[in-house]
Structure 1
């Protein structure tokens, strides 16, 4: 199945964001290989399952919650100048200018 048929571009709203999400899901699928979560992520990447269905997986929900908490903690420790730099770098990355 092609990347376009996995529904991630519809979910994210643009091709670059879909590719970033797709790459992250591929890493997660490798890390969780052989588990229910890994199988479900593979199904998303293959277009057999919508990404929204991952919200029903407790392990995925915990991973995303933990990740957001870590992000919040790290973000809070940055200076305003560092935050601005991170925003610029993120925007450039999403624009494909990295």
Structure 2
């Protein structure tokens, strides 16, 4: 999928990466949040460079510090999911499906 960015001159790299406009915006939002949590370190600088278009998204995948942080986040999510009852997990999944359906 090659969708032009807001400036209309070049493809939006986030949409090209995710193949979905909504997923691209969620990725941007999450990266902004991580960058805000790391205002002065190298990871924050790298993320800001990606967000500004100075670096590619795949540069994040090649960064060991960023990937370590992502793995930690997945573990936190997994741990959280184990605290939910089957009903709570089903409700969470249903709400996620509703959000996706609303954006389509």
Corresponding residue for 1:9?
15
- Using the size of structure 1 for normalisation, the TM-score is 0.82
Residue 41 to residue 50, structure 1, CA distance change in 2 (3 Å)? same
- Using the size of structure 2 for normalisation, the TM-score is 0.78
More helix by share: 1
Moved over 6 A (4+): none
Which runs of 5 or more structure 1 residues have no equivalent in the other structure?
Answer: none
CA RMSD in angstroms comes to 2.2
1:35 shift after superposition: 1.4
Larger radius of gyration: 2
Identify which of structures 1 and 2 has the higher relative contact order when contacts are C-alpha pairs closer than 8 Å and 6+ apart. 1
Residues matched between the structures, number: 97
Which runs of 5 or more structure 2 residues have no equivalent in the other structure?
Answer: none
Match of 2:96 among 80, 90, 98: 90
Matching of residue 39 in structure 1 with residue 45 in structure 2: yes
